[in-house]
Amino acid sequence: MDIFQAIRDRRSIRRYQDLPVEPEKIDQILEAARLAPSWKNLQCWRFIVVSDTSVRQRLLKAFHADNPGTKAIAGAPITIVVCADPRESGVENDISYYIADTAIAFEHLCLAAHALGLGTCWMGWFEEAAIKTVLGIPEPFKVVGVTPLGYPDQAPKPRPRKNLDEIVHHNRWEAP
Ligand SMILES: Cc1cc2nc3c(=O)[nH]c(=O)nc-3n(C[C@H](O)[C@H](O)[C@H](O)COP(=O)(O)O)c2cc1C
């Protein structure tokens, strides 16, 4: 799949088929994340692939019932928890770049999954302490995001995006 098509057609998927994901595909997706750029190439990210149903059940307690992604975690065969060690990244201009590093890797993962016919849904609304307890994630790791992974059981329409003229400036913030 062409990269522009993958970017254009990816959606957040919140309903999944009751089908397993081939381990080779999971490896391919993680490989795409591994290749992401990062602050000083320090690669602060770590990924926990949860395939065990009982672990997933315990993980669900970290997600609010009102979060539309909670059902996705419950229904997908795989959950991937994306963590980072902030010491393996930098801070500049008050920006903690471990979040940027990990987000890039996370999006590589989502796009690669889509290119392989699989669905993901970036989730940032969760109780971090609960996830760390269930999965035994040590300090000082942060949980940056979580995604379900599986074969989609829906084909959502594209969500709206701002037009380029709302978000792009040329040469200066405001044209004189
Ligand atoms: C940082 C981040 C956090 C998000 N957190 C959640 C979440 O907790 N639950 C959820 O259902 N979707 C979550 N989303 C998915 C967004 O709602 C979704 O990307 C957005 O509505 C655009 O839809 P699309 O991904 O289908 O293009 C999150 C997305 C991002 C990038």
List the chain domain ranges. Answer: 3-167
What CATH class is the domain 3-167? alpha beta
C-alpha 107/C-alpha 36 separation (Å) is 9
Q: What is the dihedral of CA 36, 48, 135, 13, to 10 degrees?
A: 90
Residue 126: count other Cβ atoms within 10 Å of its Cβ. 22
Ligand 1 center to residue 122 CA distance, Å? 5
Q: What is the full per-residue pLDDT of the chain (176 aa) written as tens digits?
A: 899 999 999 999 999 999 999 999 999 999 999 999 999 999 999 999 999 999 999 999 999 999 999 999 999 999 999 999 999 999 999 999 999 999 999 999 999 999 999 999 999 999 999 999 999 999 999 999 999 999 999 999 999 999 999 999 999 998 65
Q: Can you tell me which atom of ligand 1 is nearest the CA of 67? A: 9
pTM above 0.95, yes or no: yes
pLDDT score of 1: 87
Mutation choice for ligand 1 from 7, 12, 14, 161, CB with most ligand atoms inside 8 A: 12
pLDDT score of 175: 62
Q: Which two tokens stand for residue 32?
A: 């795409």
Ligand 1 center to residue 107 CA distance, Å? 12
**DSSP assignment string, 58-71:** HHGGGS-TT-TTHH
Q: Can you tell me which atom of ligand 1 is nearest the CA of 69? A: 11
HSE-up (13 A, CA, CB side) for residue 119: 25
